[in-house]
Amino acid sequence: MIRRFGEAVRADQSYKLRQGAYALLERDGLLLVTHQQRPVPEYQLPGGGIDPGESPLQALHREVFEETGWKIELRRRLGAFRRFTYMPEYDIWAEKLCTIYLGRPVRPYGPPSEPGHTALWMPAGVAARQLGNAGDRHAVRRWLGLAR
């Protein structure tokens, strides 16, 4: 069973499965994260939805580059979680299946190309408290050895 975080599932609502890949990108004790302005300002692990025809790893490289401007190297899969939420930017109720990978930033190529995103470095302990969703926070705490 894949652990669930966030809002309770609404029995009166149908959800569209939205698979995504996200990265925990560490360098010198800091994590490369993105701050998304809309629809709700929040810090996030970089990554996002897998488009038709993409593999999870292709999607992850694309999403990280769009949201941070960085090329990355992936080391391994850390785990996955689910969350049920409304996604106003797509006007859908989604069951998000979020797969988390561990990697490292390799090279910056410029600012994020995704509108409303800002890349920044955050101490891992701060990220474990400040990331915008409970699944991302749990992934960081688990990587730090603070959660099971």
Q: What is the per-residue pLDDT across 100-143, written as a single tens digit (0 to 9) for each?
A: 999 999 999 999 999 999 999 999 999 999 999 999 999 999 99
Domains contained in the chain, CATH given: 3-144 (3.90.79.10)
Distance CA 111, CA 49 (A): 20
pLDDT for the residue numbered 116: 94
Predicted structure pTM score? 0.93
Q: Residue 33 in contact with residue 131, Cβ under 8 Å?
A: yes
